[in-house]
């Protein structure tokens, strides 16, 4: 890391982007080896919010008979209202561009407020069925609150919650229980819903970029869209009409591959390659099923190790090229 920083400083100096005095000051500052605790403190704040909201849930579960439903709901409502009050009071207001609190503690306070709102609405529906048999509203209402708070307070964590809630509203579940029960893979309509939702997120990210609405949110939308579309397409590669989804996976992989280079997102780049690689291998095995290769059986298995070795080498070269382009663009 230190070697890379020295090279970056030298490159800036050689391109006349910084003066000799600035170059010496930057080098002297880096030689101090100052370690910042900013990220660690933010991590502890995030964990404290999760532990607090989890503790509220455990408290409700263990003392639901002794405390009483009205008392629990009243306590949740009061705490949630207090959190929202301080967040609105210290907020800079809504803006199309990126905004932030003067004190980053309020970012975690609004996250706690949204989580408590979800707990409150969920508990209200479970105990009193205020939405009747329209159970989707119990998901849609907190999702709407989360979207509003995400855009008003410019909070990416809340936006992730909102998109997750939207996915749950259309019937998608990412809980460990659903994965163990294989409910997603056994239900074809869920994969269709996931693809539609992924495309909708893509369209919204494009529209947001066009009108300059929270453009820094686009990576979150793209990440969710990538996973939803790719996993659903891979799931449908095992159906009889797999060619259609293979083409869709190819198109989406190309789009996300080019987009990852444009926005310089390593996570988007890596996952795109992984999904594309899995899809290509499934399609290859599908094609092999239509070919009578009894005479080439030995040759086929002889070439398999070279295929995987070549795939690994190609993956490493792609990652190195991506990092090189990203570094060059950053320095430039």
Domain residue spans of the chain? 1-34
Give the residue ranges of DSSP H helices in the chain: 2-14, 20-31, 38-62, 64-67, 69-90, 105-128, 135-152, 156-169, 176-181, 183-186, 188-211, 218-236, 242-263, 266-289, 297-331
Residues in the chain: 332
Are 249 and 230 in contact by the 8 Å Cβ rule? The answer is yes
Tens digit of pLDDT at every position of the chain (332 positions): 556 566 666 777 677 767 777 777 777 767 766 666 667 777 777 788 878 888 877 777 776 666 777 888 888 899 999 999 999 999 998 999 999 888 888 999 999 999 999 989 988 888 888 887 777 888 899 999 999 999 999 999 999 999 999 988 887 654 444 544 545 555 667 788 889 999 999 999 999 999 999 999 999 999 999 999 999 999 899 888 889 999 999 999 999 999 999 998 989 999 999 999 999 999 888 877 776 655 556 666 677 777 778 888 888 888 888 877 665 444 34
Q: What is the pLDDT of residue 126?
A: 80
pTM of the model: 0.81
How far is 250 from 230, CA to CA, in rounded Å? 9
Question: Exposure pattern of 101-116 as b/e (b: 16+ CB <10 Å)?
Answer: beeeebbbbbbbbbbb
3-state secondary structure of 324: helix
Nearest-10 Cα torsion for 5, 10, 15, 18: 80
Place of tokens 């529209």: 207
Are 287 and 329 in contact by the 8 Å Cβ rule? The answer is no
Token digits of residue 25: 């000051």
Q: Per-residue DSSP letters for 36-71?
A: --HHHHHHHHHHHHHHHHHHHHHHHHHSHHHH-HHH
Are 322 and 266 in contact by the 8 Å Cβ rule? The answer is yes
How far is 249 from 48, CA to CA, in rounded Å? 39
- Cα separation values, 298 from 57, 90, 294, 301, 303, Å: 59, 71, 9, 5, 9
How far is 233 from 247, CA to CA, in rounded Å? 9
The region that residue 91 occupies, defined by phi over 0 for left and psi between -120 and 50 for alpha, beta otherwise, is: beta
């Amino acid at each position: 890391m230190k070697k890379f920083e020295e090279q970056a400083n030298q490159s800036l100096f050689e391109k006349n982007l910084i003066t000799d005095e600035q170059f010496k000051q930057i080098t002297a500052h880096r030689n101090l080896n100052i370690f910042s605790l900013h990220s660690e403190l933010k991590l502890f704040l995030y964990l404290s919010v999760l532990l607090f909201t989890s503790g509220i849930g455990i408290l409700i579960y263990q003392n639901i008979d002794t405390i009483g439903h009205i008392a629990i709901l009243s306590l949740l409502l009061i705490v949630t209202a207090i959190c929202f009050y301080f967040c609105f009071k210290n907020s800079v207001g809504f803006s199309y561009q990126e905004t932030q609190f003067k004190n980053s503690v309020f970012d975690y306070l609004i996250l706690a407020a949204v989580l408590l709102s979800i707990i409150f609405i969920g508990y209200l529906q479970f105990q009193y069925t205020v939405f009747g048999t329209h159970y989707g509203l119990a998901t849609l209402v907190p999702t709407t609150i989360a979207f509003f708070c995400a855009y008003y307070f410019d909070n990416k964590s809340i936006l992730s919650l909102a998109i997750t809630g939207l996915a749950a509203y259309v019937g998608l579940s990412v809980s460990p229980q659903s994965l163990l029960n294989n409910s997603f893979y056994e239900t074809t309509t869920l994969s269709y819903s996931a693809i539609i939702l992924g495309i909708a997120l893509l369209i919204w990210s494009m529209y947001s970029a066009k009108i300059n609405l929270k453009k820094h949110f686009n990576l979150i939308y793209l990440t969710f869209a990538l996973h939803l579309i790719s996993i659903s397409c891979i799931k449908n590669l095992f159906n009889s009409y797999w060619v259609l989804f293979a083409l869709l996976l190819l198109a989406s992989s190309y789009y996300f591959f080019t987009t990852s280079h444009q926005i310089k997102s390593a996570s988007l780049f890596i996952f795109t390659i992984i999904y594309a690689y899995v899809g290509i291998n499934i399609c290859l095995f599908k094609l092999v099923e239509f070919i009578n290769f009894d005479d080439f059986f030995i040759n086929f298995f002889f070439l398999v190790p070279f295929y995987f070795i070549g795939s690994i080498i190609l993956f490493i070269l792609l990652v190195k090229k991506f990092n090189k382009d990203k570094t060059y663009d950053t320095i430039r």
